[in-house]
């Protein structure tokens, strides 16, 4: 009886951190082999070829980085990831294995400052989300032999789920010396600006972001005369650049005297340039929404004309434009909701003609239509459209300007 009890106790024994890291190395090797098998070639190979460019040259680190992203985050046609399919197809995995593998679907991408080294681990400060990560490698401390306190790493981290606060390097890891601080800070700022979702892993930055966005939106409305504009592309660019210059001048004016006397050279440079697909359109819609933030929409003037005059639904050009707004994942429900709210008398007629549903009413069926066409928007939490950088990144950026 005592022996049975002892066996049951051993069967529920939690694996040590060292055991989990060793197991992660085994699982990652099997996962990479699975991803590089012929079944995924039609998706992985084009990604590698695109990165290689016309010269067909791709360094090993970049190839590893692309493959790792493909394994953990790339969405296959059915919406699953490679790691999802690996877990589903392997019946020999334990519950702990599955927990670890599925946790890898949410990696932390960032530019990290090395705060300290402690045995097999390094403590990293992510300059993008301003959080610290105690980090290990599944190849042991040798992975960190060439790095030192004060230096920087560009990599991705994945959690060791059974051990709170422990992270693993995933994919390629590129190290930089302390002397690269200025360039590293600019790279981290660019990452935070273009991918604000990386910043918002830090819950404090979410609330700070909402506050900053509320302030910025109020300033935009005051400067531009409203939160929704329809302009030719060149005028939209000019207005946005005038607005950003105004905001920067106001920020400098609020600083102490010495800083205020220095006019940044960027005052005379354009802050904002429309991408080609917007620059080539007849009009651009500029909407600064309380929730969705600042967004730009091609040919928004034509779409607005359609809602003002439903007879235009009979024109192929107008039909195709509305279908594009409904279909494209890059377009949130915001512009359609705005136009339907601004034209309640005609919105029903527009959608009845487009959808060929004579009983359609926006008030009754509009929300369901948008949820069906844009499920991705409703499946994720709203996040502010303004990134808030951390104190350490601000320090590094300030040191680079001195």
Distances (CA, A) of 236 to 240, 285, 287, 293, 338: 6, 9, 11, 17, 19
CA distance between the termini of the chain: 74
C-alpha–C-alpha distance, residues 88 and 84, integer Å: 6
Nearest CA among 124, 83, 123, 121 for reference residue 105: 83
Collapsing DSSP states into helix, strand and coil, what is residue 372? helix
C-alpha–C-alpha distance, residues 289 and 337, integer Å: 11
What's the average pLDDT block by block, 10 residues per block, for the chain (402 residues)?
A: 42 76 94 96 94 87 93 93 95 92 93 93 95 92 88 94 86 92 93 87 92 95 96 95 89 66 50 86 96 95 96 93 94 97 96 95 97 92 86 86 59
Nearest CA among 72, 122, 80 for reference residue 100: 72
pLDDT at position 55: 85
Domains of the chain: 2-103 (no CATH), 108-199 (2.40.50.140)
Q: How many helices (H) and strands (E) does the chain have?
A: 19, 8
Strands 284-289 and 293-298: antiparallel
pLDDT at position 402: 57
C-alpha–C-alpha distance, residues 340 and 336, integer Å: 6
State both tokens at 116: 């300290």
C-alpha–C-alpha distance, residues 242 and 245, integer Å: 5
C-alpha–C-alpha distance, residues 259 and 268, integer Å: 17
Q: What is the pTM of this model?
A: 0.73
H/E stretch holding 115 reads strand 108-118
Residue found under tokens 């394994």 = 71
Q: How many CA atoms lie within 13 A of 145 on its CB side?
A: 5
Q: What is the dihedral of CA 344, 384, 218, 245, to 10 degrees?
A: -120
pLDDT at position 262: 55
- Cβ count near 330 (within 10 Å): 6
- Cβ count near 140 (within 10 Å): 14
- Cβ count near 242 (within 10 Å): 14
Collapsing DSSP states into helix, strand and coil, what is residue 272? coil
**Cβ-contact 107, 72 below 8 angstroms:** yes
pLDDT at position 142: 86
Q: How many CA atoms lie within 13 A of 231 on its CB side?
A: 18
């Amino acid at each position: 009886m005592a022996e049975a009890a002892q066996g049951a106790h051993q069967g529920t024994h939690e694996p040590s951190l060292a055991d989990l890291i060793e197991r992660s190395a085994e699982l990652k090797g099997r996962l990479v082999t699975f991803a590089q098998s012929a079944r995924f070639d039609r998706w992985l190979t084009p990604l590698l070829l695109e990165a290689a460019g016309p010269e067909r040259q791709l360094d090993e680190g970049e190839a590893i980085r692309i493959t790792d992203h493909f394994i953990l985050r790339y969405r296959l046609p059915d919406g699953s990831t490679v790691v999802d399919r690996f877990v589903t197809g392997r019946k020999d995995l334990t519950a702990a294995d599955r927990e670890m593998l599925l946790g890898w679907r949410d990696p932390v991408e960032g530019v990290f400052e090395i705060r300290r080294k402690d045995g097999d681990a390094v403590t990293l400060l992510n300059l993008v989300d301003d959080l610290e990560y105690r980090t290990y490698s599944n190849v042991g401390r040798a992975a960190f032999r060439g790095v030192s306190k004060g230096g920087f790493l560009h990599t991705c981290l994945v959690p060791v789920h059974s051990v709170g606060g422990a992270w693993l390097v995933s994919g390629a890891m590129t190290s930089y010396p302390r002397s690269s601080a200025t360039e590293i800070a600019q790279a981290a700022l660019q990452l935070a600006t273009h991918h604000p979702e990386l910043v918002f892993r830090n819950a404090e930055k979410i609330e700070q972001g909402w506050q900053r966005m509320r302030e910025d939106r109020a300033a935009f409305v005051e400067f531009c005369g409203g939160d929704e504009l329809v302009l030719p592309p060149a005028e939209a660019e000019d207005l946005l650049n005038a607005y950003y210059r105004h905001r920067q001048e106001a920020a400098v004016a609020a600083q102490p005297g010495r800083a205020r006397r220095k006019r940044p050279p960027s005052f005379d440079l354009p802050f904002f340039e429309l991408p080609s697909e917007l620059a080539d359109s007849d009009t651009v819609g500029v909407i600064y929404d309380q929730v969705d933030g600042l967004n730009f929409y091609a040919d928004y003037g034509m779409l607005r004309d359609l809602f003002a005059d439903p007879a235009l639904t009979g024109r192929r050009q107008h039909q195709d434009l509305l279908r594009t707004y409904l279909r494209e994942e890059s377009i949130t429900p915001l512009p359609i909701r705005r136009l339907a709210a601004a034209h309640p008398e005609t919105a029903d007629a527009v959608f009845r003609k487009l959808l060929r549903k004579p009983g359609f009413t926006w008030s009754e069926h509009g929300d369901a239509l948008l949820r069906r066409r844009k499920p991705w928007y409703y499946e994720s939490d709203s996040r502010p459209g303004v990134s808030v950088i951390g104190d350490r990144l601000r320090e590094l950026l300030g040191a680079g300007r001195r």
